[in-house]
Structure 1
């Protein structure tokens, strides 16, 4: 077995061990380089006892471990460590009469879409991956998906709204007939987010008789475009009027005109889908300039503890969504461990739980697909297999064969959550609405953000 960190610093996110110490402890340590020195990959070779001379399976995972999107990748090295402890990944995949050793290569995008695409090409053309995984926002996943589809390499994606993913591949969410040949995904869609937010708006409106006007700040990017197309129509049917900002560029630093617009509209609710650093800037300015919606329901931001703590008390009672929570009844298809057990183990070494522990299911899906084929190195056969996976996994039921809202899409509905003052931690993400995911246990009452 060999481990190679994908970080340029001296500590790995999987623990506190120095890079050199980790490599020495593993007994090997050649950093994989490719793409003109662009790539530093974490490689975990896991050889089955009876593999003999069988050519191993290589799985590459492209994800943001550093940079602005690092919160999304915070559990990922821990996920890899858990996966390596499971019997299939430790002993090899049994396919027919053969056992194939498995290598996992981890590629850090550094939160750069350009780098994500370049890493996909490196993984496919230089490193010879049999299957790719990609996770965490359109900024990561779409660039990888484009390369995988054009270079005929099977890819399993997570943590991207399906509309953004589908449009990028040439599909039309309103007429979802296109079937990507090499790519599938599991997560939720923009419609699931607004349907998770509306019950929370309804409860606050019922309690405080707030105007049913929603201030919406949607940027000029893949997520923003999808949300502009989806949110207002669904919210209108529920009786809400949207006051939308103009599509603003990512990286905007002055939100004064937008805030003034929202104040003039007397918006009782607020929603958005920005990059995390942009929300921090905008929300601080909103507080300074007196924009205080009764309930803020944000998307793509405040999903993880570090982002919440960075804004301190400004995030008190701000609501968002979670696509995975400890109180869900799902279990690992490898070990039978529950969501709560996974969260507890993560918290014992890494701090508060993170919804992207559900990235574990990328590897559950990969195993299900690869062990259903006759030749795991035949990319066409594997691509066909990922579209047929139907499993119960840590992320929940994943059925890529059902047709979903579009071919190749498995939906994991979200719960409504809210950052509240905690007892175990200063801030805790509480499940306050389970309309779309009734199996989730409610852990706290919904509170107004401002009253």
Structure 2
């Protein structure tokens, strides 16, 4: 897919555009995508499609973690950079804004790091009428429920579980009676107590905690921000609620810091969708997951993040699609190519021909827990691998005593 003397005529320049939350509340998530763009820029100077060699330009625009700005970023990438495909990742409000704008303007879009039900149903989609321009790869709410239920059962045979879910799209998706987290967890035989929504950012969780105490809740599951989860845990301890385990699917994609040490002691477990221990390589240059994580840490001075592997895979898929489309200069041809793509990437095998629904490729999940590490005060250890057996279990799940 990179330059080669075997290529014949030169084609016109192709642009891969990225909408990145470079600033604002999602900036920690934007760092891996910004890094991936610079890391892969040398390998993506050219793409060969058939007998043509196309120069490639990587461009990005800052969404500022805001859906309105994200929409404008898409327009700029299309009108000013002439992007053939747009990539983006995560943000409950920002990602749908990017995808919807691409769908409206007729530009291929590839996104990740957001449960696929949110990408499809949260945007008013219907699997019987697939999107034309927008595609996605990620895990599902049902996959999170399966991982968390296994973690709960490792903690106790049938624990009573309390929910800390907000009143935003995320909470609505988790509760949905058809495709949400809640019906999947209950179908596995768990008693789930949902005291109702809270508005984010939260000013207190007294009502949740009082109900959890009344119902003898033993495990808490959450999709809260780091700040809200820290507030919940502090107030829970103050009021005498000591969960044996907390499962959380949101902020825990990021490393614990000294500020978060109280949560590190809370025996918090989470999902794992990528790590330096996953046995995958880049389709562009055979870089391993461990090499990518090392490069990120050396060049940025920061610890690796789970979104790093998905950010790299976004650009792998974009390059592959441009290299295999019938006409990489035609946006409709590029969009159609994503739907028939199956590619081994640094994030695993991404297969849009297999579903679970049109426009979506599935990323399997393992279960993890923040535990005392060798190199850092807290490290994310893989504790269950039922959904991803090729990744080795590193530690036992440790509930509070």
Same fold (TM over 0.5): yes
Paired with 2:48 and 2:135, the residues of 1 have a C-alpha distance of: 23
Q: What's the counterpart of residue 74 of structure 1?
A: 31
**Equivalent runs, 1:409-424 vs 2, <5 Å:** 409-424=360-375
* Aligned-pair CA distance for 1:262: 1.9
**Structure 2 counterpart of 1:363, from 315, 334, 343:** 315
* Aligned-pair CA distance for 1:54: 3.8
After superposition, what is the alpha-carbon deviation per residue over 1:317-373, rounded to whole angstroms, capped at 9, x for unaligned?
Answer: 210111111221111111112212222332333332211121101011111111112
1:181 maps to 2:132? yes
Paired with 1:386 and 1:75, the residues of 2 have a C-alpha distance of: 23
Q: What's the counterpart of residue 330 of structure 2?
A: 378
1:162 maps to 2:116? yes
* Aligned-pair CA distance for 1:222: 1.9
Q: What's the counterpart of residue 344 of structure 1?
A: 294
- Which SS does the other structure have where 2:253 is aligned? coil
Paired with 1:336 and 1:177, the residues of 2 have a C-alpha distance of: 37
1:346, 1:353 within 8 Å by CA — same for their partners in 2?
yes
Q: What's the counterpart of residue 102 of structure 1?
A: 56
* Aligned-pair CA distance for 1:297: 0.6
**Structure 2 counterpart of 1:431, from 371, 376, 382:** 382
Query: Using a 3 Å threshold, how does the CA distance of structure 1 residues 48 and 252 change in structure 2: closer, same or farther?
Result: farther
Paired with 1:425 and 1:417, the residues of 2 have a C-alpha distance of: 16
Query: Using a 3 Å threshold, how does the CA distance of structure 1 residues 79 and 415 change in structure 2: closer, same or farther?
Result: same
* Aligned-pair CA distance for 1:96: 2.6
1:226 maps to 2:183? no
Paired with 1:82 and 1:108, the residues of 2 have a C-alpha distance of: 18
State the TM-score, normalized to the length of structure 2: 0.92
Query: Using a 3 Å threshold, how does the CA distance of structure 1 residues 83 and 260 change in structure 2: closer, same or farther?
Result: same
**Structure 1 counterpart of 2:197, from 247, 253, 258:** 247
2:273, 2:306 within 8 Å by CA — same for their partners in 1?
yes
2:10, 2:53 within 8 Å by CA — same for their partners in 1?
no
Q: What's the counterpart of residue 446 of structure 1?
A: 397
- Which SS does the other structure have where 1:336 is aligned? coil
Q: What's the counterpart of residue 303 of structure 1?
A: 253
2:65, 2:91 within 8 Å by CA — same for their partners in 1?
no
State the TM-score, normalized to the length of structure 1: 0.82
Paired with 1:322 and 1:112, the residues of 2 have a C-alpha distance of: 26
* Aligned-pair CA distance for 1:62: 1.0
* Aligned-pair CA distance for 1:47: 9.9
* Aligned-pair CA distance for 1:444: 1.3
**Structure 2 counterpart of 1:314, from 256, 263, 271:** 263
- Which SS does the other structure have where 2:86 is aligned? strand
- Which SS does the other structure have where 2:324 is aligned? coil
Q: What's the counterpart of residue 216 of structure 1?
A: 163
1:124 maps to 2:124? no
1:51, 1:98 within 8 Å by CA — same for their partners in 2?
yes
2:273, 2:364 within 8 Å by CA — same for their partners in 1?
yes
Paired with 1:101 and 1:225, the residues of 2 have a C-alpha distance of: 44
User: Greater CA deviation, 322-331 or 337-346?
Assistant: 337-346
Q: What's the counterpart of residue 275 of structure 1?
A: 225
1:395 maps to 2:347? yes
* Aligned-pair CA distance for 1:196: 0.7
After superposition, what is the alpha-carbon deviation per residue over 1:139-194, rounded to whole angstroms, capped at 9, x for unaligned?
Answer: 2210001101111100011101000110133225xxx3221110111110111111
Paired with 2:108 and 2:366, the residues of 1 have a C-alpha distance of: 30
**Structure 1 counterpart of 2:143, from 186, 192, 199:** 192
Paired with 1:108 and 1:47, the residues of 2 have a C-alpha distance of: 29
Query: Using a 3 Å threshold, how does the CA distance of structure 1 residues 129 and 396 change in structure 2: closer, same or farther?
Result: same
Paired with 1:113 and 1:308, the residues of 2 have a C-alpha distance of: 28
Paired with 2:287 and 2:358, the residues of 1 have a C-alpha distance of: 30
Aligned residues: 393
After superposition, what is the alpha-carbon deviation per residue over 1:17-73, rounded to whole angstroms, capped at 9, x for unaligned?
Answer: xxxxxxxxxxxxxxxxxxxxxxxxxxxxx9999898742111111122222222222
Paired with 1:264 and 1:65, the residues of 2 have a C-alpha distance of: 44
